[in-house]
Amino acid sequence: MSTTEAPELTGSNTEGKHLGLALAVIAGAQLMIVLDATIVNVALPTIHHDLNFSVNNLEWLITAYSLTFGGLLLFGGRTGDLFGKRRMFMIGIAIFAVSSLLGGFATTDIWLILTRACQGVGGAIAAPTALSLIATNFPEGPQRNRAMGVYAAMAGAGGAVGLLLGGMLVDLVSWRWIFFVNVPIAAFILFLTPRALNESSTTSGKLDVPGAVSATGGMLALVYGLSNVAGHSWTATSTLLSLFIAAILLLAFVLIETRTAEALMPLHIFANRNRSGVYAMMLCIGTAMFSMFFFLTQFLQNVLGWSAIRTGVGFLPMTIGIIAAAVLASRMISRIGIRIPLLVGPAAAVIGLELLTRLTIHSGYGTIVLPLLIVSIGMGLSFVPLTLTAVSGIEPNEAGLASALLNTTQQVGGALGLAILSTISIDAYKSKIISFASGSQGTLSRQAKNIATTHGYTTAFQVGAFIAFAGLLISVMVIRAPKELGSDANPVHAAL
């Protein structure tokens, strides 16, 4: 589940041409973008085999999308303000569709990774403008509230639909159709958009292109450098060069943001203690979520031999748990505040990840579904209070920025965490293989390799649990529960 920028929905330029059709267009776009974050997960083992992906490169199918999507989300929202939300929405959908088409025809790992990155670019433009179009096409009151409810439902359902649809397409047709399926959907959305949605007014100003390029480029270089360690070493020239470039670009980003009048990410937004704390917590939660999806999918298919469809169905309890816990948290906060959910949520994530460290090659679904549910409840309880705290006390014109930054930290945290945990997992696997080989007289058995593979995954879960525990410590030591949260915040809509 991912959040999207939540701009203020306080006014409408003109009422949409056909509100029912407008809602279908916006909801369809949101569903397509959200499900693409999970639809690839269940196809990873098949893609790994068909395109001869290296273990190091496989993680880039996830991180290439999450880095460009999260890194350019603020930039994408700004383009809608300057050039028209409907226009940029259509451009974002078109980029997403073309990238999906090219991805479906991929014959090499690099080709597919690049198209995933381009999908992230399209999503980063389309997602924030789609939400903003609700404000420009639906009048305030019941109609806008209904539209927001449907939009939030699509965000919540996207994860489950992605897992199920991905599993069905991989098993019944081909993994290539997890990309091809986006093309007719996007074409239909592009056809209906000018007929259903009105264009928004535009504002004057400039795009912070240097800020967007330096931030996204710096994060890509950092993730590449961290991933490169698994195949080489910390002292390898390619690793050191990547990390050096990352440091230069990220330092440049900070300098640019301090000297740019219309900064992409005004640094003063981090001056608030609580706000900085929840961003750090979301960084930890993003790491835990992305790593669990990635490694558990690999375990179910590569070790237990599950089909893609069965894997998708197996993750359903987690999606249901997140949605149910988020709705429960939104109702509880008005009575008990944010303190308890922000303690119980991260603690539950730690417990669930710790339970996953006990997986073996003989584990059944019963030993998997319990930690899945515990982690999902922890994440669901965390999302709502994190979002509310991020926007509490913020100036109205920066509410969208504060909410979008929460999504950015989740996506970037997931990408960084996956790079680190993949390196750790591969090292643990290699160490176990070496220990088996030293006591073996010949070729290692399939069982021995599965044990080594499982050891790599459980080691990653253990480190993920430590990172989730760091999020819990941040909650205890940094977050101070405000006396009251802004009444204008809508927790369910903001968090889903």
Two structure tokens written together for 278: 């929840």
Using the 8-state DSSP alphabet, how is residue 397 labeled? G
The reported pLDDT for the residue numbered 13 is 43
- The closest alpha carbon to 148, from 328, 13, 140, 188, belongs to 140
Question: Can you tell me the distance from the alpha carbon of 490 to that of 496, in angstroms, rounded to the nearest whole number?
Answer: 10
- Asked if residue 253 and residue 126 are part of one domain, the reply reads no
Distance from chain centroid for Cα 432: 31
- Asked if residue 272 and residue 190 are part of one domain, the reply reads no
Instruction: Decide: 164 and 312 in contact? Cβ < 8 Å.
Output: yes
- Asked if residue 227 and residue 105 are part of one domain, the reply reads no
- Report which of residues 483 and 408 the model is more confident about: 408
Using the 3D structure, point to which of 261, 281, 305 is the last residue of a domain: 261
The reported pLDDT for the residue numbered 441 is 59
- Asked if residue 359 and residue 243 are part of one domain, the reply reads no
Mean pLDDT of the chain: 82
- Best mean pLDDT range from 177-186, 264-273, 288-297, 443-452: 177-186
- Asked if residue 272 and residue 253 are part of one domain, the reply reads no
Please name the residue ranges forming H helices in 197-272: 209-231, 237-259
* Containing structural domain, residue 323: 268-496
Using the 3D structure, point to which of 174, 202, 230 is the last residue of a domain: 202
CATH of the domain at 81: 1.20.1250.20
Q: For the residues 147-167, what does the mean pLDDT come to?
A: 70
- Asked if residue 427 and residue 302 are part of one domain, the reply reads yes
Q: For the residues 318-333, what does the mean pLDDT come to?
A: 81
Question: Can you tell me the distance from the alpha carbon of 218 to that of 239, in angstroms, rounded to the nearest whole number?
Answer: 14
Kindly tell me if the per-residue pLDDT of 470 is higher than 90: yes
Band (152; pLDDT cuts 50, 70, 90): low
Kindly tell me if the per-residue pLDDT of 8 is higher than 50: no
- Asked if residue 244 and residue 179 are part of one domain, the reply reads no
Angstrom distances, CA of residue 431 to CA of 311, 437, 449: 28, 10, 12
Length of the chain: 496
Kindly tell me if the per-residue pLDDT of 384 is higher than 60: yes
- Asked if residue 324 and residue 450 are part of one domain, the reply reads yes
- Asked if residue 229 and residue 190 are part of one domain, the reply reads no
Condensed to tens digits (0 to 9), the pLDDT of residues 100-112 reads 999 999 999 999 9
Using the 8-state DSSP alphabet, how is residue 483 labeled? S
The reported pLDDT for the residue numbered 482 is 63
Band (398; pLDDT cuts 50, 70, 90): low
Residues in Cβ contact with 310 at an 8 Å cutoff, skipping those fewer than 6 apart? 167, 300
- Number of alpha carbons in the 13 Å side-chain half-sphere of residue 209: 2
- Asked if residue 213 and residue 195 are part of one domain, the reply reads no
Question: Can you tell me the distance from the alpha carbon of 468 to that of 450, in angstroms, rounded to the nearest whole number?
Answer: 27
Q: For the residues 302-318, what does the mean pLDDT come to?
A: 89
Kindly tell me if the per-residue pLDDT of 319 is higher than 60: yes
Residues in Cβ contact with 127 at an 8 Å cutoff, skipping those fewer than 6 apart? 4, 5, 30, 33, 69, 73, 76, 92
The reported pLDDT for the residue numbered 12 is 43
Domains held by the chain: number: 3
Q: For the residues 192-198, what does the mean pLDDT come to?
A: 85
- Asked if residue 279 and residue 217 are part of one domain, the reply reads no
Residues in Cβ contact with 51 at an 8 Å cutoff, skipping those fewer than 6 apart? 106, 107, 108, 109, 112
- The closest alpha carbon to 385, from 321, 319, 340, belongs to 340
Question: Can you tell me the distance from the alpha carbon of 160 to that of 319, in angstroms, rounded to the nearest whole number?
Answer: 6
What does pTM read for this prediction?
0.80
Instruction: Decide: 133 and 13 in contact? Cβ < 8 Å.
Output: no
Q: For the residues 409-419, what does the mean pLDDT come to?
A: 84
249 Ramachandran zone, left/alpha/beta (phi>0; psi -120 to 50): alpha
The reported pLDDT for the residue numbered 265 is 81
- The closest alpha carbon to 325, from 278, 373, 387, 368, belongs to 373
Angstrom distances, CA of residue 63 to CA of 3, 182, 311, 422: 17, 19, 21, 11
Percent of the chain topping pLDDT 70? 85
DSSP assignment of 409-445 equals: HHHHHHHHHHHHHHHHHHHHHHHHHHHHHHT-SSSPP
Question: Can you tell me the distance from the alpha carbon of 114 to that of 100, in angstroms, rounded to the nearest whole number?
Answer: 11
- Asked if residue 323 and residue 229 are part of one domain, the reply reads no
Percent of the chain topping pLDDT 90? 28
* Mean pLDDT lowest among 267-271, 282-286, 360-364, 455-459: 267-271
Q: For the residues 489-493, what does the mean pLDDT come to?
A: 40
DSSP assignment of 286-307 equals: HHHHHHHHHHHHHIIIIIS---
Using the 3D structure, point to which of 202, 225, 251 is the last residue of a domain: 202
The reported pLDDT for the residue numbered 496 is 35
